[in-house]
C-alpha cells in the first residue's frame, strides 16, 4: 500500500483584531508542534487589511505582526482567498477576536469547503458576543453575571440615564464594584474595574472604543478559573481546571501573557469534588453553545459555592505558557498530541456536518 501523504495544514495567524499579537504567538506554537509524520505545515498570515499571505519560516519567527508585515512584500507570497484550497487541506485557525473566532473566518472557510479547527459559525458568533452568550446560558438555567448593556448611541444621547440604569440594576442588588468591558473583545482588552461610580464615565468610554456596546457587570469576588474541553457532540473530555491569581483587580492583558505577572495553578487548589463539578459544568456550557473540537470556559467559583461562567471561548490562546498546555500536560498529552487531537476532531466534525458546522 502506498504511504499516505501528510495532510497540508494551513496555520492561520495574525488577523485584524486587537488580539493579533496573541494570535501570532499561538500560530507559531501550533506550527512548530505539528506532528511531521502526519501533517505538513504552512503558515498563513492574515494582515491588518484582511489579506492572506503564505509565510516562509524566516517570517514565522518574527517577534510581532508589525515585523512580519514589514517584510511581506519582499519575502511572502500573496494568496487570494479562493486559492487557499489549492494550498492546504485543513486550516488550524489560530486567529483570535473579531474576524477570527467570531464566525467571520469560519463562514469564509465554509464557502471554500475547507475543514477548520474549532467551532462553527453560530457557536463562534455567540461565544464572542458576551451578552448573547450570557442570555443563552440563562435560558438554559445557568447563572450569568448581573449586567447592564450600554450602547454607544444611548451613551452619546444621555449618559446620565445610562448611569442611573446601572445604579438601579446593579447597585440596588448590593454590588459595590463594577466591571466594564466591550461586548465583543478578549484578552481583557478594554476592561476596567470601577470602585467609584464617578469613574464609570471613563470606563464606559474606554470599552466603547472597542465596540458599539459596553457591558457593565457586578464584580465577582471569587476564584477565577479556566477549563479546556475537547470533543464533539456528547464525547467530551474536560481537563483539570486552572486557577488564576493576580495582584490586580482582574487578569489584565499583561497578567495573561507576560511571564511572572500572574499565577496559573493547574489543577486549581480546591477539593476533588469541586474540580469534578467545574469540569461537568464546563461541558454543559460547551454543549449549550454548540461548541466543536475544543474550547476554553472561563468563570468564577464564588465563596457560597456558585459557579458562574463569564467568558466561554470557542478557541484559546496557544502560546507556550497557555492554560491549554498546562491542562493537557496534566492529562498526559504533549503539545504535539494535543494539536493532533484538535486536528482529528476537526476532520471528524466536518465529515459529519450537513451544511455549515
Instruction: Confirm whether 2 is domain-assigned.
Output: no
Burial code (b: 16+ CB inside 10 Å, e: under 16) for 193-209 equals: ebeeeeebeebbebbbe
Among 2-6, 100-104, 236-240, 312-316, name the one with the lowest average pLDDT: 2-6
Domain shared by 112 and 185, yes or no: no
Q: Are residues 203 and 259 in the same domain?
A: no
**Residues 138 and 269 grouped into a single domain:** yes
Q: Per the structure block, which three cell numbers stand in for 71?
A: 517584510
Question: Cell numbers of 72, please?
Answer: 511581506
Query: Which pLDDT tens digit goes with each residue over 245-300?
Result: 866 655 554 545 555 566 789 999 999 999 999 999 999 999 999 999 999 999 99
Summarize pLDDT for 305-325 with one digit per residue, the tens. 999 999 999 999 898 878 899
pLDDT digits (tens, 9 = 90+) for 165-206: 998 888 756 667 889 999 998 777 888 888 877 889 999 999
In this structure, are 245 and 205 located in the same domain? no
* pLDDT class of 138 with cuts at 50, 70, 90: very high
Rounded to whole angstroms, the Cα distance separating 250 from 262 reads: 10
206 with 239, same domain: the answer is no
Whether 89 and 12 share a structural domain? yes
Rounded to whole angstroms, how far apart are CA atoms 222 and 28? 34
**Among 201, 218, 235, which residue terminates a domain?**
218
Name the grid cell of 257.
501573557
179 assigned to some structural domain: yes
| Cα distance between residue 142 and residue 49, in whole Å | 39
pLDDT at 5: 87
Same domain, 151 and 136: no
Give the integer Cα–Cα distance in Å for 322 and 13.
16
pLDDT digits (tens, 9 = 90+) for 209-226: 999 999 999 889 899 999
Report yes or no on 121 lying in a domain.
no
Range of the domain at 254: 127-142+221-352
pLDDT at 323: 84
- CA-CA distances (angstroms) from residue 124 to 105, 120, 143, 259, 290? 10, 6, 20, 29, 9
Residue 30 domain flag: yes
Give me the CATH number covering residue 333. 3.30.470.20
> Do 105 and 20 share a structural domain?
yes
Are 59 and 15 in a shared domain?
Answer: yes
Does 301 map to a domain? yes
Are 348 and 231 found together in one domain? yes
Residues 242 and 208 placed together within one structural domain of the fold: no
- In the chain, how many domains are there? 3
Query: Could you tell me the CATH number of the domain that includes residue 161?
Result: 3.30.1490.20
pLDDT at 299: 95
Structural domain contains residue 1: no
Q: Is the domain of 227 the same as that of 322?
A: yes
Tell me the average pLDDT of the chain: 92
% the chain with pLDDT above 90: 81
List the CATH number of the domain containing 12: 3.40.50.20
Q: What is the per-residue pLDDT across 22-48, written as a single tens digit (0 to 9) for each?
A: 999 999 999 999 999 999 999 999 999
Amino acid at each position: 500500500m502506498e504511504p499516505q501523504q501528510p495532510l497540508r495544514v494551513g496555520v492561520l495567524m495574525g488577523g485584524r483584531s486587537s488580539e493579533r499579537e496573541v494570535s501570532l504567538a499561538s500560530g507559531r506554537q501550533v506550527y512548530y508542534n505539528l506532528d511531521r509524520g502526519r501533517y505538513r505545515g504552512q503558515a498563513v498570515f492574515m494582515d491588518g487589511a484582511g489579506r492572506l499571505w503564505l509565510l516562509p519560516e524566516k517570517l514565522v519567527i518574527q517577534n510581532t505582526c508589525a515585523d512580519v508585515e514589514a517584510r511581506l512584500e519582499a519575502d511572502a507570497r500573496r494568496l487570494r482567498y479562493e486559492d487557499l484550497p489549492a494550498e492546504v487541506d485543513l486550516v488550524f485557525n489560530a486567529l483570535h477576536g473579531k474576524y477570527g473566532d467570531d464566525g467571520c473566518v469560519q463562514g469564509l472557510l465554509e464557502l471554500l469547503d475547507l475543514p477548520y479547527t474549532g467551532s462553527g459559525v453560530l457557536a463562534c458568533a455567540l461565544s464572542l458576543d458576551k451578552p448573547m452568550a450570557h442570555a443563552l446560558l440563562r435560558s438554559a438555567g445557568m447563572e450569568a453575571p448581573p449586567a447592564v448593556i450600554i450602547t454607544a448611541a444611548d451613551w452619546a444621547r444621555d449618559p446620565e440615564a445610562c448611569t442611573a440604569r446601572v445604579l438601579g440594576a446593579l447597585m440596588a442588588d448590593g454590588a459595590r464594584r463594577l466591571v466594564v468591558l466591550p461586548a465583543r473583545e478578549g484578552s481583557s482588552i478594554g476592561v476596567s474595574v470601577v470602585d467609584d461610580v464617578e469613574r464609570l464615565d471613563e470606563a464606559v468610554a474606554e470599552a466603547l472604543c472597542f465596540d458599539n456596546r459596553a457591558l457593565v457587570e457586578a464584580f465577582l469576588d471569587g476564584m477565577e478559573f479556566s477549563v479546556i474541553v475537547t470533543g464533539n457532540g456528547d464525547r467530551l473530555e474536560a481537563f483539570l481546571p486552572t486557577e488564576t491569581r493576580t495582584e490586580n483587580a482582574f487578569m489584565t492583558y499583561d497578567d495573561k501573557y507576560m511571564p511572572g505577572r500572574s499565577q496559573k495553578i493547574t489543577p486549581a487548589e480546591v477539593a476533588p469534588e469541586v474540580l469534578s463539578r467545574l469540569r461537568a459544568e464546563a461541558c454543559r456550557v460547551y454543549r449549550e453553545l454548540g461548541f466543536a473540537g475544543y474550547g476554553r470556559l472561563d468563570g468564577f467559583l464564588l465563596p457560597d459555592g456558585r459557579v458562574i461562567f463569564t467568558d466561554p471561548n470557542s478557541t484559546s490562546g496557544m502560546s507556550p505558557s497557555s492554560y491549554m498546555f498546562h491542562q493537557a500536560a496534566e492529562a498526559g498529552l504533549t503539545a504535539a498530541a494535543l494539536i493532533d487531537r484538535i486536528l482529528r476532531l476537526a476532520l471528524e466534525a466536518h465529515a459529519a456536518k450537513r451544511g455549515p458546522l
